[in-house]
Structure 1
Amino acid sequence: MQAMTEDEVRAAFVNAAPDEARQLAVPHDFPLVDWDHLDFLAWRDPLLRGRGYVVAELDGRPTGVVLRAASGSSRARAAMCNLCHTLQPGDQVALFTARKAGDAGARGDSVGTYMCSDLSCHENVRLAGPLSPSEVRASVDRRIDGTRHRIEAFVERVVDVGD
């Protein structure tokens, strides 16, 4: 992923109001981000409970979306993240929704998917061994490529104004 400044990260958000983008809290370790080894940037807001952010590159341009985590907890024993396909304890996967960009978002349209609660998909796909005895792992490179493809597809669904 290309290196970005805080201002560039804020400008990348397609479904945030200008005030919302200006006030968002970047990750506390933002100055230490290793951009060369990052497929996408994702983090939970340390100040606003239930909010998260994802910035992915679409057609070479950074594109960010504001996420909102569903309130409540899962009663499932285990759940799978739809992005990194990692099997997690049920309370470590949450439904995140994102308001669509443009007029669709202004009408209240949104898209959602289940993600790792801490948005750590980038790290999870790099784990070598399975997290549970029944989990089958593909090669790390295939998992990384699949996760990047799925996060880009999710961001494209937010950006898509044709719906």
Structure 2
Amino acid sequence: MSDSFATHLLSLTTGRTETVTDLTGDCEQFLTRAAEGRDGLLNIFVPHATAGIAILETGAGSDDDLLAALKDLLPADDRWRHRHGHPGHGRDHVLPALVPPHATLPVIGGRLELGTWQSVCLVDTNRSNTDRQVRLSFMGGAGEA
């Protein structure tokens, strides 16, 4: 059995407000094509200095709670040494230390193995950069020869 690798780049527009964007459907669509029923790993990576990937429940308030917690932990004020961009933008550059720019998740039988209420989310607090990319990469067995 040899290993296989497939990758896809998502392009998103997040808007001018802080957002949590659910990427679970995009991940599942990618795995339908890339994994073809195989076991492996899905890596989700956002190549931006001011965004991260989180695994959390969405739609029941947890996404808003996360943004509220980040506002408490990283206030958008003038305390930051990184000063270009909108006021408080330095906080956006600290975000990836708390919400990492990547996640690696198990894929079993071509399906993403998430818990019942878990979703894969892009967390973006940078109001100045609305264009985002997320790289999805599947690494898995090539199947039986």
* TM-score, length-scaled by structure 1: 0.23
Which protein is richer in strand relative to its size? 2
Q: Which structure's relative contact order is higher, taking Cα pairs within 8 Å and 6+ residues apart? A: 2
Which protein is richer in helix relative to its size? 1
